[in-house]
Structure 1
Amino acid sequence: MLEREPTLDELAAIEAEMPSITAGVELVDAECRVLTNPGDVLARRAHRRAMSALLSLLVQQANHDAAIGVAPAHAMTTPGSALPVEAA
Structure 2
Amino acid sequence: MLEREPTLDELAAIEAEMPSITAGVDLVDAECRVLANPADVLARRAHRRAMSALLSLLVQEANHDAAIKPAPVYMITNLSPAAAAEAA
Question: How does the TM-score come out when normalised to structure 2?
Answer: 0.77
User: Paired residue for 2:28?
Assistant: 28
Does residue 1:53 correspond to 2:36, yes or no? Answer: no
Decide whether aligned partners of structure 1 residues 58 and 12 sit closer, same or farther in structure 2, where only a CA change above 3 A counts: same
Decide whether aligned partners of structure 1 residues 56 and 41 sit closer, same or farther in structure 2, where only a CA change above 3 A counts: same
Q: Report how far residue 70 of structure 1 moved.
A: 7.2
Larger of the two Rg values belongs to structure: 2
In structure 1, how many angstroms separate the alpha carbons of the residues matched to 2:25 and 2:61? 18
Unaligned runs of 5+ in 1: 72-88
Aligned residue-pair number: 71
RMSD: 1.3
Deviations for 1:20-71, whole angstroms, at most 9, x for unmatched residues? 1000000000000000000001000000000000000000001001100078
Tell me, what secondary structure is at the counterpart of 1:39?
coil
Percent sequence identity over aligned pairs: 92
After the TM superposition, which segments of 4 or more aligned residues of structure 1 sit over 6 Å from their partners? none
